[in-house]
Amino acid sequence: MAATGFSDLRDKLKSMTPHREETYKEKKVDGTNGSGKVRKRKFRESDEDEVVEYSDDTRESREQEARRVKIDIVQKGLFSLEECALIEDKIDEVVAIGEAGQYREHTVDRAPLRNKYFFGEGYTYGAQLEKRGPGQERLYRKGEVDDIPAWVDELVIKRLVSDGIIPEGYVNSAVINDYQPGGCIVSHVDPLHIFARPIVSVSFFSDSALSFGCRFQFKPIRVSEPVLVLPVTRGSVTVLSGYAADEITHCIRPQDIKERRAVIILRKTRPDAPRLDVDRTLSSLPPERPIPLKAKRSRRRADPDAAHRPRVLEMDKEENQRPSHSHHRRHSSSSSENYWRRGQEYDKHKESSERRKVKMRRH
């Protein structure tokens, strides 16, 4: 290919079919596909993204939806670089404590390229649910996750209160999401029956983006074009409420986590939020099937003369175990048993001798 002057196969194909390029340019200017109907336009964020076709009407509706999302989002750069560095050191301490296994059972939730740390309140979600779907999430029982660290209250929550972003005493749930490069969180809406609004998040370590209205596909992971991509910078606060929090999903795409990133999510649980109950959880499980009993098999070889031996009944065993029986009786019973065995041996010996005599006569 280098000898022909082309460094890319696509350039060579374009030179072989120049009429297609001209036709495409004419249609782009004309805005129709030749039949008088509105042509579908192709939008592509990058060469690696999947091409998604939208008509002009669909594009307009998506732009309107993006405007509705923006109305209910508040963003503010709040923490300085020095404050970010101090908070990030505290996040590293949380990670170290989690690696040492010093937190309670449900405080740490691990996933590929993402670790989640629940404080104050934690809840079941995703694959942890017995019945999947919105509205099935449940808070953990009280005391099953660790309390909110003092540094979160001192360095983060009090700062948000002093700036008028949240009222004092609002937060009773703090979650730290620690993402590695390429990590993600699928499209979701924070459970309406669990958390009140607004939802507050603070970003650290690096810049990223929050995407709205995406659809995830797995194996391999693919994400559809979002309705809105919201840039999120290090040290900034993002507040979601209204349409942005309740009526459209939000996610973090793998391509938007280029470096390590951590986010502290601050929320308030509803007073009537359902919790996991021990009795209800156990009763909802399917009944265990009884294990079939297998017959025990003896490894001893079968004795052909066992059927001719006298059977020892249970009542005879009990009588033999009684201390009132004399030694003489036990001796007599054992002697009778020995006498029976000697008789059996004598019969066998007699039978074998008769066989030998028959063989001798044949010769």
Kindly list the catalytic residues. Answer: 123
The 3-state secondary structure of the chain, one letter per residue = CCCCCCCCHHHHHHHHCHHHHHHHHHHHHHCECCCCCECCEEECCCCCCCCEEECHHHHHHHHHHHHHHHHCEEEEECCCHHHHHHHHHHHHHHHHHHHCCCCCCCCEEEECCEEEEEECCCECCHHHCCCCCCCCCCECCCCCCECCCHHHHHHHHHHHHHCCCCCCCCCCEEEEEEECCCCCEEEECCCCCCECCCEEEEEECCCEEEEECCCEECCCCEECCCCEEEEECCCEEEEECHHHHHCCCEEECHHHCCCCEEEEEEECECCCCCECCHHHHHHHCCCCCCCCCCCCCCCCCCCCCHHHCCCCCHHHHHHHHCCCCCHHHHHHHHHHHHHHHHHHHHHHHHHHHHHHHHHHHHC
Under 8 Å between Cβ of 122 and 107: yes
Q: To which residue do tokens 């995703």 refer? A: 126
